[in-house]
Amino acid sequence: MHGAINWRTSIFMIHHQGDPYLSSPMASRKNRSLVLRLIVTAIGSFLFVGPCGASGGRRGRWRLLMNNTGVVPMHMALTHLNTVVMFDQTGFGPSSYRLRKRLRGKKRCKATGADLTDTSCYAHSIEYDVSSNRIRALRLDTDPWCSSGSFLSNGTLLQTGGYRKGSRGIRYFKPCNSDWCDWRQSKRSLSVQRWYSSSQLLPEEGNRVILVGGRRAFSYEFVPKHSSTDRSHDLPFLHRTHNRDNDENNLYPFLHLSSDGNLFIFANRDSILFNYRRNRVVKTFPRIPGRGSRNYPSSGSSVILPLEHGNGFQKVEVMLCGGSAPGAYEAAGQGKFLKGLQTCGRMVITGNRHRWKMEKMPKPRLMHDMVILPTGQILIVNGARRGAAGWNRATGPSLRPYLYDPTKESGTRFSIMRSTKVARMYHSSAILLPNGRVLVGGSNPNKVYTLANVTYPTELRLQEFIPHYMDRQYHNLRPQNLSVQYNSSSDSGVGYGGEFTVRFRLGRRWQSKAVEFTAYAPPFTTHSVAMNQRMLWLHGASMVREQGGWVRATVEAPPSPEVAPPGYYMLTVVNGGIPSFSHWVRFINA
């Protein structure tokens, strides 16, 4: 297969040539000890950003990684082997990666004649190696356009749904340290066609995933199924939130697993807490204030804010930002691009009192990505200011990322980062890397690969956004050389409620209360939806300084799979707001 490479997979630190310092920090969090506040203050006020206009070196920087990925990264997911799987739709036309054989059949593809334009002779998926900055082509047997995905507990990516013949497809990608890993198409299929559906890994054993919604699919189903009679289940909530005109606005619903084991589902403007085990709505939340919609094709974005060990992970708060004005999709089809939504809403979904707390972004935004950084801050990147998602239905690219600090006072939480020169419109994505940087790719509002003579051409450049606090000036504060040791008899992971050892080097003087530990579940990202994205602040039970600046810490795993579904997480040590490079840790059902 064209583009195959010999991997140089780095399970631990990932270095880019010429730039060995690759991590990131956090602004002060509420209820931190006085010691921590003094330490952070001593580091300097330059670590923090102002309400709406960071300046100078505080705005981060952009770096071009690759001029041509060959395939539009419409969908992206980071594996625990530090590679990124990217893919688009098979109907986009010829990509930059030719296959030796057609996707179906044994006939070889030739470099002449009709084969030069036969889409079945081209790859529409790639695997990107972060450490070597190289890619290799993968083959897809069915079209995954506008599909969903979740990582299973063993690190395999379960990928579901898509377009036409791919709409009932189930695909698996199991990463490995060789050139032979590729997509595997399951012989089983979904119960119904799922195009623009969302997925969430569930806490129970057996790697069960729930799929919710999709175009003309007002239901949910599970993969794998418990029996041959386990089909799709009607969900009246999706009927109620569906706009009957062409804009729909309840596709790609936002899903977040609450720490009580129930599922938060948001579609259009409304949300529920759903007991999927009993097929019962537990709570119906207030409608988010304001007009307009938040889900595809209005395409706002959502995160579950980092969970805290300090409250037993029992406070669960969701956040939604942006979207489109009423009627924006149809208006854009007529050449009128309505201003997007500027508001964000936060709501605690646990407890008994539920109210949306609204605030404004610096500018309207839609089709953006919300990425939780190692610091607990949220980076809002990509997107546009006007219109809606769809073929050339948006204008005014949002070139400046926003940095949101959820711990600051309302009105001071947003900062404006350094602008990119690349418009990331429809079909763009962004994900967090183990080096603390944010990988940004994609954008293709055209029905085929169109590289010139249009307002927003197909974008094949790959970039990374580098937050300012990842610069080398913070290297002396950054924990180095992380390693993880499981304290149980199992070497495959740590069980819930158990302890594991983290060893790292920290040469300068430090205070134990200034050192914190985060665990981050990497998402499957597409169409402004980061499925299964999750961060937890873990409890450091003890820390002991050893010779040579080494520190040995005992860290507590999450208490249950409801708090953190089983699988691989990026563990980061944060020292007074300066994070280490991440190391992978696995939480398992012991």
Distance CA 357, CA 346 (A): 5
Find the angle CA(417)-CA(419)-CA(424) to the nearest 5 degrees: 115
* Bridge partners of residue 495, in order along the sequence: 588
Q: In the predicted model, is pLDDT for residue 38 greater than 50?
A: no
pLDDT in tens, 165-175: 999 999 999 99
- 244, with CB counted inside 10 A (0-12, 13-18, 19+), is exposed
Region label for 481, one of left (φ > 0), alpha (ψ between -120 and 50) or beta (otherwise): left
Q: What is the pLDDT of residues 239-277, one digit of tens each?
A: 999 998 778 999 999 999 999 999 999 999 999 999 999
Plot region of 310 (φ>0 → left; ψ -120 to 50 → alpha; else → beta): alpha
pLDDT digits (tens, 9 = 90+) for 393-416: 999 999 999 999 999 999 999 999
Task: Provide the pLDDT for residue 39.
Answer: 33
DSSP character for 130?
T
Residue 103 binned pLDDT confidence (cut-offs 50, 70, 90): low
CA 201 – CA 190 distance, rounded (Å): 16
190 phi and psi, to 5 degrees? -70, 160
Grade residue 105 by pLDDT with cuts at 50, 70 and 90: low
Kindly tell me if the per-residue pLDDT of 551 is higher than 60.
yes
Identify whether the C-beta of residue 332 lies closer than 8 Å to the C-beta of residue 394.
Answer: yes
C-alpha span between 356 and 352 (Å, rounded): 13
pLDDT band for position 466 (cuts 50, 70, 90): very high
Q: What is the DSSP code (8-state) at residue 98?
A: B
The CA distance from 223 to 424, in Å, is 33
Please count the other Cβ atoms lying within 10 Å of the Cβ belonging to residue 190.
Answer: 23
Average pLDDT, the chain: 88
Residue 157's φ and ψ, nearest 5 degrees, are -90, 120
User: Phi/psi at 261 (nearest 5 deg)?
Assistant: 90, -5
Neighbours of 427 (CB within 10 A): 27
Can you give the pLDDT at residue 11?
Answer: 25
Q: How many of the other CB atoms lie within 10 Å of CB of 539? A: 18
Could you tell me if 267 and 297 are in contact, meaning their C-beta atoms sit under 8 angstroms apart?
Answer: no
Torsion angle, alpha carbons of 319, 321, 325, 328, to 10: -110
Whether pLDDT at 80 is above 80: yes
Domains of the chain: 473-588 (2.60.40.10)
CB count within 10 Å of CB 277 equals 11
Q: Nearest to residue 302, comparing CAs of 333, 337, 338, 343?
A: 343
What are the Cα distances from residue 218, in Å, to 108, 197, 215, 235, 268?
41, 10, 8, 6, 13
- Asked if residue 295 lies in contact with residue 322, where contact means CB atoms within 8 angstroms, the answer is no
Find residue 83's DSSP bridge partners.
Answer: 129
| Overall average pLDDT of the 157-163 stretch | 98
If DSSP codes are grouped into helix, strand and coil, which group holds residue 335? coil
Least confident span in 38-52, 80-94, 230-244, 313-327: 38-52
Token pair in block for residue 429: 């994505």
According to the model, what pLDDT value does residue 119 have?
72
Q: Which of 165, 156, 94 is nearest to 123 (CA)?
A: 94
Taking every pair of C-alpha atoms in the chain, what is the biggest distance, in angstroms?
72
Dist CA 67 CA 501 (whole Å): 41
pLDDT number for residue 410? 93
Tens-digit pLDDT profile for residues 329-353: 999 999 999 999 999 999 999 999 9
Alpha helices in 181-302 (DSSP H): 236-240
With vertex at residue 563, the alpha carbon angle to CA 352 and CA 230, rounded to the nearest 5 degrees, is 95
Tell me if 580 sits within 8 A of 506, measured CB to CB: no
CA atoms of 35 and 58, how far apart (whole Å): 24
* pLDDT greater than 90 at residue 296: yes
The predicted structure's pLDDT at residue 116: 72
Lowest-pLDDT range of 33-42, 138-147, 385-394, 424-433? 33-42
Using CA atoms, how far apart are residues 199 and 153, in angstroms rounded to an integer?
A: 15
The pLDDT of residue 20 is: 27
pLDDT higher at 12 or 213: 213
| CA–CA distance, 195 with 214 (Å, rounded to integer) | 5
Backbone angles phi and psi of 239, in degrees to 5: -65, -45
Quote the CA–CA distance of 401 and 465 in Å, as a whole number.
9
DSSP code for 101: B
Instruction: Match 């330490």 to its residue by tokens.
Output: 39
395 phi, psi to nearest 5 deg: -145, 165
